[in-house]
Structure 1
């Protein structure tokens, strides 16, 4: 009888609403093992597995230990930047946004496999799916599956005949949403922006969007484009350029202090434990691009990006850590910074990280002085000068 697979055992306990407990203490940094309750038919006795056990979940071609996976599941509802900061403080391996999402979906039964999970060897571990109920109440192994510890022998002809009538029962996640949950929150945001523009447009042109009851009725819209198809149409609103910050906890510029720095050149130490917004807007006039102020969007993660958003990214901040770019359109840092202006912001006189040294020919390094705040404005202007030149070279403003 083979030993239980730690990843499948964790999934089985979470799916059955009997999550494991830490042992011997309740704190993850001092506990040494996970204690699982009896989970028939997988296990009829309590099972304890060390937290440093390596699992089949892989990150960067290396297996992730059970402690890191259990912590990621505990932090499943925590914002990704706060989760990464907490993981670094605890000293466990942190997962990226997509990696953590796939792990949680797998553990809660939303999907049965993942690119990050190595398939279980035949005859080893426990089942990835709950056992189907038999008419007599006993547990019956399914065809092609192994729901018990060890290998199932399929030699009974009557059993094989029963298997031929088997069908897979899908849950609502797989039937209605596929194997991965999809976040449509960006659609709501776009709809709200569209409705706001309609209500606050010149002259509150609500009549232009009113459907007529019949031809000639007073409520017929007087849109020139409807009366005369050749009438000039209003120009579409230009798309806002995007600035991407680093989600690293060691970054000097974060969502908590980037707005006053880029708007007025005032540097404030980042707030490590406050809840920062996930999206910001700032305005800046770039004479070489437009005579009127441009509105910039600032985010620290591209997780909500559509493919066309990458054409609007005009600046990327980094702390020199390559994991930041894993979910980017261009995951190679040198390729990324050849297409988008890259910036590293550090303290004056500090040594540069190895990544910054390696990409130095592609990055613009901005140094903030520790005690002379009047120099912050100069650093801010250097940033905007670089962004303006980069945007002009890529055709913005034409």
Structure 2
């Protein structure tokens, strides 16, 4: 029998007085006898098994103050029950809990001292029903229901001499072990350990899938931009070759040199419109500007100055006066550093898709613009707030975004709720990665392509 179960049975029926120590053995009434210092099935949280004498002393002194109990146990050179094990052990022994993870079944070898019992010669092998009923992992299993099987296990492990003397016991033990092995079932395996119950990774899968799609779309857009840029260079070279020159900045239309009229120059400008990307302009003159000034020739002057791009004046926005130059000119996004003094005007040169750099201005004070300056405003980076357009010289959003291209710059991981108002406007939304700076150039190319299409559709007479 398991001494821990017997001790629990005696504790639950308040019969601890029947447990007496005789020599190096404990007598449990007239029923059971165990060696005092044998290990029980209860394992301490510190890792060691409690011995029977330590548990008997503990359960008989449960009403003693724990510090006094520790001193008395040490004086008797007994193993002490730790404070962290005290409550759980007492709950089990007194029957308040039926089972605990601290219990570990041990093979009861040498559990009972003395000679083999006289009925050993006539002991029958445990039946299959007995083996099925025996559940060692359930300490609450009644000892009376396990007596036949436990007695067989005790008798088998009594001593090597006993095993040699009683051969039928060895046979019964072998049959018993075979019965147990046949009914073994794995509780956990590799697959069950890897299962995560009540966990749903669909959100992570959706996020990763979305990132892959955006990455693929950005790569396709970049490839398309590279192809378009290559085609533009080819078309430009061929166009100027057809006009007997390889330098677009030294080109003068033959019609002008021949002294033909202004209407002919205008028709030449409209023909030139099909090559807008290679010429970096919209060639339909508005207010009598010649083809030379519209095409950005050497010595040509554009009345009013370079194109203007408006950015928000707030320092906490993604793009402002502090970082617009790096983003629009170099194609690299850097976080805005508001420690330095903010300039009134930032100038930069567009190099992407242009054989010759084109000058631009960046400003953030629309109220300081003159009517002539407003004619040069071609784009605005919006915040998605109504107050950004207060005191603008336009009737409403429809008029603003029909004359000026609106861009909403956001991080790709930002909530879509922040762009709800922007989606109601005629605004281009461009997404940036928070960490992948090599993708910034793709976003800038999107901006320039959209700006080019916007200006060409409105035939704005400005070098861009």
Shorter-normalised TM range:
0.3 to 0.5
Higher-Rg structure is 2
**Where is the helix percentage greater, Structure 1 or Structure 2?**
2
